[in-house]
Amino acid sequence: MSVRMGEEQKQYQEFLKSRQPAKHWLKNSIRAFFAGGIICLIGQGIQETFVHFYHMSEQMAGNPTVAILIFLSALFTGIGVYDVFARYAGAGSAVPVTGFANAIASAALEHKSEGYITGIGTNMFKVAGPVIVYGVVAAFFVGLVRYVFTNF
């Protein structure tokens, strides 16, 4: 089926295009860069604190650093600050581990009214679930390939 566009339709299409928001990918990327960079900077600060004041090795400090970032993210999601930040920062808020925690906390909050089991429990991993599923599957096969290559 072919639709012939008359002059009027063409004009209307152009009018529509002019009214739609242009894709500000460059502006968004700059925002994501600074927001994500700052979160990593904060992470580095927390990590250095563990290294210098609790005498942990760099590697040991990684885990508690992630735990603190996740705590802060869940807290800021709860008081509604993280979502405001996310609207500005885009992927700068989603890509760091704080975004993973935000996905879990906000899904849990959103479905709280459906109850603790069927609401919070069922929906908590609605967005973050695929990350764990495919992360684990990929890690298994990557590990398997490396295991085979190093042992046979």
Partner 1 sequence: MSGVGIFIMAFLVGGFICVIGQLMFDLTKLTPAHVMTILVVAGAVLEGFGLYDPLVRFAGAGATVPITSFGNALVHGAMAEAKQYGILGLITGIFEVTSAGISSAIIFGFLSAAVFRPRG
Per CB under 8 A, which of residues 86..145 are in contact with partner 1?
90-92, 94-101, 103-105, 108-110, 112-113, 116, 120, 124, 127-128, 130-132, 134-136, 138-140, 142-145
Burial of 72 (C-beta count, 10 Å sphere; 0-12/13-18/19+): middle
Residues 37-76 that bind partner 1 (CB under 8 A): 37-41, 43-47, 58, 62-67, 69-71, 73-75
Question: Of 4 and 23, which CB lies nearer to partner 1 in the complex structure?
Answer: 23
- Which residue in the set 5, 11, 13, 25 belongs to the binding site for partner 1 (CB under 8 A)? 25
The SS3 assignment for 22 reads coil
- The end-to-end CA distance of the chain, in Å, is 59
Residues 2-21 that bind partner 1 (CB under 8 A): none
Q: C-beta of 9: minimal distance to partner 1 in Å?
A: 25
CA angle at residue 87 from 128 to 31, to 5 degrees?
100
Q: Binding-site residue total for partner 1 (CB under 8 A)?
A: 78
Question: Are 103 and 127 a contacting pair, CB within 8 Å?
Answer: yes
- In 3D space, the residue among 30, 34, 36, 32 whose CA is nearest the CA of residue 96 turns out to be 36
